[in-house]
Amino acid sequence: MRKAIILTTNEDTTEIRSLLDTLGVSVEHEFLQKRVLPHKQGYLGPGKLTEVSDAISGLNIELVVINGDLRPSQHHYLEMKFQKECIDRPGVILGIFASHAHTPEAIEQVKLAKLKYELPFLREWIHKAKRGDRPGFLAGGAYATDIYYEHARSQARRIEKRLKDLSKQREILRTKRHESGYALVSLAGYTNAGKSQLMNRVCEATTEVDDRMFSTLSTTTRKVRGVDGTILMSDTVGFIRDLPPDLISAFKSTLEEIFYADMILLVIDVSESLSSIKMKLTTSLEILMPRIERREMTVVGNKIDKVTAEHVKQVRQTVEPIIGSYPLVVVSALTGLGIQELVHQIAKVGRRVFTIYARLPPTSQSYSFLSKVRANATVSEEPTGKYVEVTIKCRPEDGPRIIAMLESIGAIDLSTDANQTGHGQYGASIGKEGAPLG
């Protein structure tokens, strides 16, 4: 395990420590200098940096981690000062993404983000090398640095084109799903909120569950169990405060699964402190709200098995003013508590609220029709001798088309009941074109 020190201007280093633990880095010391703004040259002031240099001179420290974003000039200065690898918070997050990327798409996305992250630092090192300050990026030599810079730029362009093609493929797939009557629910939320475990519970799936941050980078899609119709659920990459813009850009095609979903389940970890819940919920909403328009969304408070009823009450009081009219459902993905209420919320996205009743002749044409319509509707049938009594629940927009098909195969006693009042309680009669007669 690599040993590191943390340089910070913020007392709260919980998140950067968690990130480093996920990356497999051991934090040996932490150096805090309270500042409103980081020092323009070395992030911390010159006196503090001298103190840090003296403190670690006899220690086997391999990595200097900065709990914030470094400018290229600051990065160069610190590496010159300590003669060790220096990495800022976005660099740590990129390191985690690189170690967790397994699918070809995720690997390409991380590679693109890493290249975009490195390019400003490379420009700085080239600038310094030409001035004679140091021969190249991470001691690579001035010529090698220049070549690597040009290679990185051309490689980034190639990856962007490939990811753009993948985005178009996803768009085609989404369109085909909608045309086939599928609905998509996407899990979103702060990293390590328990999204994968929740998906396993709702979909009876076996996706990887890990306590480490960003264990899910590739989109995984499974069918939701226990609902009418075909509703698919996608598990997506987690959010984090100050997520590097290059990562958001690189993972655009993956994040589109959230932004274009029929329903979003925004997952929060209710076992954390109220201040942490508030911060992480706000961060997630800041990423989501500009892109989801007025899309259906439910906030899911996960891990209630770890807290008291009083804490859950306090969470509600904290969360509800932030989310406004969006519903909050509290569950335990581990034990299954509250999952039925969540599944009821998810079922709404299927929108099979338009009910058609009919009597069909027991012919092969009728049974062929029922088999075909099951792809986009929920069908129940009951033979009664001369006829087959059928109840079809579908989306309102599919109703007229199904009614027309029923008429073409000789259905009689056609009627609808959009409120699902039950079999045999017929609503409006239907005319030849499927329109209510009143």
Question: Which residues lie closer than 8 Å to 88 by C-beta, 6 or more apart?
Answer: 65, 66, 68, 69, 70, 75
The domain that contains 327 carries what CATH number?
3.40.50.300
Check whether residue 337 and residue 383 sit in a common domain: no
The reported pLDDT for the residue numbered 394 is: 80
Report the percent of the chain where pLDDT is more than 70.
Answer: 83
pLDDT tens for residues 189-200?
888 888 989 999
The reported pLDDT for the residue numbered 136 is: 44
The reported pLDDT for the residue numbered 417 is: 72
Give the C-alpha separation, 381 to 79, whole Å.
74
Report the percent of the chain where pLDDT is more than 90.
Answer: 35
The reported pLDDT for the residue numbered 353 is: 67
Tell me, yes or no, whether 15 lies in a domain: yes
Q: Which residue, among 43, 57, 144, has the nearest Cα to 87 in the 3D structure? A: 43
Check whether residue 59 and residue 151 sit in a common domain: no
Residue 241 — very low, low, confident or very high, per pLDDT cuts 50/70/90? confident
What angle, 0 to 180 degrees and rounded to 10, lies between the N-to-C axes of helices 309-323 and 274-292? 30
Q: Is the pLDDT of residue 430 over 70?
A: no
Question: What are 182's two structure tokens?
Answer: 């599928």
The reported pLDDT for the residue numbered 270 is: 96
Tell me, yes or no, whether 428 lies in a domain: no
Q: How many domains does the chain have?
A: 4
Check whether residue 218 and residue 307 sit in a common domain: yes
Check whether residue 332 and residue 192 sit in a common domain: yes
The domain that contains 68 carries what CATH number?
3.40.50.11060
Tell me, yes or no, whether 195 lies in a domain: yes
More confident site: 19 or 166: 19
Check whether residue 363 and residue 303 sit in a common domain: no
Alpha-helix residue ranges (DSSP H) falling in 57-141: 72-82, 89-100, 104-130
- What is the arithmetic mean of pLDDT over 416-429? 44
The reported pLDDT for the residue numbered 133 is: 52
Check whether residue 217 and residue 285 sit in a common domain: yes
Mean pLDDT of the chain, nearest integer: 82
Check whether residue 105 and residue 88 sit in a common domain: no
Using alpha carbons, list the distances in angstroms from residue 375 to 122, 261, 296, 398.
54, 20, 23, 12
More confident site: 251 or 72: 72
Q: Is the pLDDT of residue 425 over 60?
A: no
Q: Please name the residue that has the structure tokens 């200065």.
A: 77
pLDDT tens for residues 70-95?
999 999 899 989 989 999 998 998 88
Residue 234 — very low, low, confident or very high, per pLDDT cuts 50/70/90? confident
The reported pLDDT for the residue numbered 309 is: 95
Q: Which residue, among 354, 358, 422, 362, has the nearest Cα to 387 in the 3D structure? A: 362
The domain boundary, picked from 349, 378, 397, lies at 349
Tell me, yes or no, whether 438 lies in a domain: no
Q: Which residue, among 295, 289, 348, 302, has the nearest Cα to 329 in the 3D structure? A: 302
The reported pLDDT for the residue numbered 167 is: 76
The reported pLDDT for the residue numbered 135 is: 45
- What is the arithmetic mean of pLDDT over 66-71? 93
Tell me, yes or no, whether 168 lies in a domain: no
Question: Which residues lie closer than 8 Å to 281 by C-beta, 6 or more apart?
Answer: 190, 266, 268, 299, 319, 322, 323
Check whether residue 303 and residue 206 sit in a common domain: yes
The reported pLDDT for the residue numbered 291 is: 75
Cut 0.75: pTM above it: no
Exposed, middle or buried by CB within 10 Å (0-12, 13-18, 19+), for 85?
middle
The domain boundary, picked from 349, 364, 388, lies at 349
Check whether residue 345 and residue 374 sit in a common domain: no
Tell me, yes or no, whether 429 lies in a domain: no
Q: Is the pLDDT of residue 63 over 90?
A: yes
Tell me, yes or no, whether 436 lies in a domain: no
Segment (H or E) for 182: none
Check whether residue 222 and residue 322 sit in a common domain: yes
The domain boundary, picked from 314, 349, 384, lies at 349
- What is the arithmetic mean of pLDDT over 244-260? 70
Residue 385 — very low, low, confident or very high, per pLDDT cuts 50/70/90? confident
pLDDT tens for residues 302-357?
999 999 999 999 999 999 999 998 999 999 999 999 999 999 888 877 766 688 99
The domain that contains 379 carries what CATH number?
3.30.2130.10
pLDDT tens for residues 122-162?
778 777 766 655 444 444 445 556 677 778 888 888 988 88
The reported pLDDT for the residue numbered 424 is: 34
Check whether residue 320 and residue 390 sit in a common domain: no
Alpha-helix residue ranges (DSSP H) falling in 208-308: 245-250, 252-259, 274-292
Residue 13 — very low, low, confident or very high, per pLDDT cuts 50/70/90? very high
Tell me, yes or no, whether 43 lies in a domain: yes
Check whether residue 186 and residue 320 sit in a common domain: yes
Could you list the residue range(s) of the whole structural domain that residue 58 is in? 2-96
* Least confident among 59-63, 184-188, 355-359, 422-426: 422-426
